[in-house]
Each structure stands twice: as C-alpha cells, then as structure tokens.
Structure 1
Amino acid sequence: MRAFRLCSAGFVALQLCLVVATPTCVSAQDSTKAAAPKPKPKGRANLITEEEIAALGGTVPTAYGIVQRLRPAMFRVRSSGASSGADGSQDVTANEIQVYLDNQKMGGVRTLEDITLSQIKEIRYLSASDATTLFGTNNAAGAIQVVGKR
C-alpha cells in the first residue's frame, strides 16, 4: 500500500510537471516563430525602380552607390570570355560590364559614379545576350542600363 502511495504521489508530481512545462514549450515555439527572418523586399534582381531609389532618401548620391547598396550582384561578371576581333586581337572591354545612360555607351561600371541621383529614373541589369541584342557586340559581360528622368 505504501508503494502504491509513493507511485501515486510520483504520478501526480509528473502530471503537475507536464502541465507547468507545456506552456513553456508552446511559448518557446511562439518566440521562435516571432524571430523568423523578415522576407526579402519584393522586386526583381535585375531592376532598381524609381521608388526604391526614392526610399534611400537621397543618402546615396550616385548610380554606383545605388547599385552597390540595393543590387550589388549587378556588378558580378557572369561571362568570362573576351571577344576576338577578325585579326585575333582581344577586346578587354568585353570582359567588363558596360554602362549605358539613355542608350548611350558611357564605359565600364566606374562611370556609374558620374551619374547623379537627380538623373536616374531606373537602373536595369542586362544579361550578355540581352545587352548584345540591344547594344551590339562588346557586351559579353552584360550591361547596366540607366534610364534617365525626362
């Protein structure tokens, strides 16, 4: 009889522990859900819109800084082959992403530093094939197209 009482007391103590511990487990799960990472901002990886630029509040004065802040992947060269001319010479600019402002070739990515915030409507990355279709040869690394405000 005494063993039964000890077992009963132990069973009651176990039940009490489960009742007390269960809300703790649930609240721990809830806090994990609350600490989940925030979703990434909606937008396309190859486009920086006028709204995104405005959201920076003028803290980034050039196109280079805007791309660096919002879409640094645009600076990564996705193709490594240089184009060869008819005489076998290599064009070194083919390995560099080219920049176009309102469809006028500016040069390499550093020319984005010459394009000011007040000039920019949107910035778009073009793949090598899209850039070659739109702007012709010497765009094997892709292009960054800046559309100016009109």
Structure 2
Amino acid sequence: MNARTAFALAAVLGAALLARPAAAQTTDTTAATPAAPAHRVRHDRNLLTPEDFAGRHEDNAYALVRTLRPSWLRGSRGVTSNAEGTPVVVYRDGVRMGGENELRSIATVTIREIRYLDAMAATQQFGTDHGGGAILVATH
C-alpha cells in the first residue's frame, strides 16, 4: 500500500468514526430535542465533606482520614526521602497545628471539610517544610 492509498483510507475511517449514527440524523424538526447527557459529578479525591462521612462512627479527624483517605497520612516517600517519609503537616482553620496526631484532637462533629494538599501545593501555599503535604481542616 502506498502513502496516498494509506492516507485516503485513514481519511475515510476517520470520517466514519466521526459520523453521527443515522438515528441522530433526523430531519424532522417537530421531534423533541434529545435531553442533554447526564454529567457525572467528579468527586475531588483531595476533599472530605460531611456528606462523605455522614453515618460514620469515627469520632475524630484522624480516624476519618485513616479510614477514608489513608494515603494522606503516608507523607512523601520519594527516592531521596528517608524510609519513613516526610510527615504531613496539619492546619486547623488556617493555623499550623503540627503533625498527623493533631487530627486526633479535632472532633468529627466540628468538621466542615478536610482538604489534602500534595507536597508541591502545600509548599506553594505555606513555604518549605511541607514535603509530606498538608491536611487542612476547616471547622464550624
């Protein structure tokens, strides 16, 4: 097969893939307009809201995170980091609290949301010393 034939074949196949099905090519203008396709709501994997933990029995933020998003507690384990990794830093209502154990002091009933920032986003927002990322807890 030469290049011209291959190009023509690719053009025909591409056009066929892009063509609408015959059922969608109606000329009847009185037909009802098809409903817009239902869009799935994308869930932010870096966010926990009360809807995410409704009905759960964990009594503090640490238990929630450990159960629902355990990877947030692992910190950074890059090639150059130590075996235990760089710990995550916890913020409550914008105030730096310390390490992951600080989550134990935050009651579940007071939580508005918990957000995780990876190392790059945490460093951009808070400066250096966030190699394990940050967990931001917003309370009522």
Superposed counterparts of 1:52-71, under 5 Å: 52-56=52-56, 59-71=57-69
Please say if residues 77 and 95 of structure 1, whose CA atoms lie closer than 8 Å, have aligned partners that are also in contact: yes
Shift of 1:112: 0.4
Please say if residues 79 and 128 of structure 1, whose CA atoms lie closer than 8 Å, have aligned partners that are also in contact: no
| Counterpart in the other structure of 2:70 | 72
Count of equivalent residues: 95
Which segments of 5 or more consecutive residues in structure 1 lack a partner in the other structure?
Answer: 1-41, 83-93
Shift of 1:137: 1.5
Cα distance in structure 2, aligned partners of 1:60 and 1:103: 23
Which segments of 5 or more consecutive residues in structure 2 lack a partner in the other structure?
Answer: 1-41
| Counterpart in the other structure of 1:96 | 87
Superposed counterparts of 1:38-53, under 5 Å: 43-53=43-53
Shift of 1:138: 0.9
Please say if residues 79 and 140 of structure 1, whose CA atoms lie closer than 8 Å, have aligned partners that are also in contact: no
Cα distance in structure 2, aligned partners of 1:73 and 1:144: 11
Rg comparison, structure with higher value = 1
| Counterpart in the other structure of 2:24 | none
Cα distance in structure 2, aligned partners of 1:47 and 1:63: 13
Larger proportion of helix: 1
Q: CA RMSD in A?
A: 1.9
What is the TM-score normalised by the length of structure 2?
0.61
Superposed counterparts of 1:1-150, under 5 Å: 43-56=43-56, 59-80=57-78, 95-149=86-140
Cα 1:122/1:98, change in 2 over 3 Å:
same
What is the TM-score normalised by the length of structure 1?
0.57
